[in-house]
Amino acid sequence: MPREQALKPSPRRRKQALAIAPVPINVGMLPNLLGYNVRRAQIALWRDLARSLGEVKVRPAEFSMMVLVDSNPGIAQIELANQLDVDKATIVGLVDQLQRQKWAVRKQSTVDRRRQGIYLTALGQRELRRLEQTMIEHEARFTRLFSSEELTQLFAYLRRIHP
């Protein structure tokens, strides 16, 4: 038997190794770090949202942008970038993605020829309505973990970080 095969564990041994209870990991100061806890919460939210959306692949930034465009038809890319706190290159990519999905279009401004306004298409508006319902259900799974007072307080605390 070649040496490589002799060193390779058998499928049975691999299963046994996986069945052994993991050794607890000392996480040190991580549980006391705001960023660590916010990131872990974000990961839990992201995973649940991905399960909720199923086959439709839309990122939170795309959803947020669709809400902003729907609420502000003709909004400029720079205004979207400022509101979402992303750079111009990122917003161009997000708008391009929505255009590829035929959910949004760019239209030249009639007032300022240098400006392009972003608009949702009829398909984009229908998709946004569906996504909004999914988002409401997704959010409810997490917001129900808090009383209304706690939720108000949590949002106020988070807004201190991003005024």
- Residue 19 reports pLDDT greater than 80: no
- pLDDT confidence tier of residue 6, bands split at 50, 70 and 90: low
- Residue 5 reports pLDDT greater than 70: no
* 46-82 pLDDT, tens digit each: 899 888 888 777 888 899 999 999 999 999 999 999 9
Contact 130, 138 (CB under 8 A): no
* 86-124 pLDDT, tens digit each: 999 999 999 999 999 999 999 997 777 888 899 999 999
Q: What is the mean pLDDT of residues 147-163?
A: 93
What is the reported pTM?
A: 0.76
In CATH, 32-161 is 1.10.10.10 = yes
- Residue 3 reports pLDDT greater than 60: no
